[in-house]
Structure 1
Amino acid sequence: MGHREDLLEGAKRCLLEKGYARTTARDIVAASGANLASIGYHYGSKDALMRQAIIASTEEWAAGVTRAPAAGDGTEKGDADPLERFAVVWDAVLQRIATERDFIAAQVEVLGLLPRDAALREAVGEVLPEGGEGLVAVFEGVPDTEVDPEAARIVGSFYQALLTGLMVQSLLTPDAMPSGQDLARALRRVTAGEVLRRK
Structure 2
Amino acid sequence: MGNREDLLAGARRCLEEKGYLRTTVRDIAAASKVSMAAIGYHFGSREALLNLALFAAMDEWAAGSGRLAGQGATTAERYADTWDRKIRDFGEMRWLWMASVEAFVHAQSAPELLATLAENQRQARRMVAAQLRGVPEDAVTQEDVRALGSVHIALLSGVMVQALTDPEQAPTGRELAQGLRAMAELLES
Which TM-score tier does this pair reach, normalised by the shorter chain? Answer: 0.7 to 0.9
> 2 CA distance for matches of 1:70 and 1:135?
14
Q: Tell whether 2:170 aligns with 1:177.
A: yes
Change (3 A) 1:9 1:141: farther
Q: 1:149 to 1:8 in 2, by over 3 A?
A: farther
Give 1:132's aligned residue: 125
CA distance in 2, matches of 1:176, 1:114: 29
Distance 2:109 2:152 in 1: 25
Deviates more, 1:132-141 or 1:120-129: 132-141
Q: Which amino acid is the alignment partner of residue 56 of structure 1?
A: A
Pair 1:89 & 2:76 matched = no
- Distance in 2 of aligned mates of 1:193 and 1:187: 10
The separation in 1 between residues aligned to 2:174 and 2:19, in whole angstroms, is 32
2:68 aligned counterpart, secondary structure: coil
Does 2:149 align with 1:156? yes
1:86·1:139 contact (CA, 8 Å) conserved in 2?
no
Percent identity of equivalent pairs? 42
Unaligned runs of 5+ in 1: 74-79, 195-199
User: Matches of residues 1-199 of structure 1 in structure 2 within 5 Å?
Assistant: 1-72=1-72, 80-81=74-75, 83-193=76-186
Match of residue 77 from structure 1 = none
Q: Please report the TM-score for the alignment, with normalisation by the length of structure 1.
A: 0.81
For residues 115 and 121 of structure 1, do their structure 2 counterparts lie closer, same or farther at Cα, with a shift above 3 Å needed?
same
Deviation of 1:45 after TM superposition, in Å, equals: 1.2
Alpha-carbon separation, structure 2, partners of 1:169 and 1:135: 20
Judged with a 3 Å threshold, the aligned counterparts in structure 2 of structure 1 residues 4 and 146 are, in CA distance, closer, same or farther, namely farther
User: After TM superposition, what 4+ stretches of structure 1 lie above 4 angstroms from structure 2?
Assistant: none
Q: Specify the code of the residue in structure 1 equivalent to 2:32.
A: S
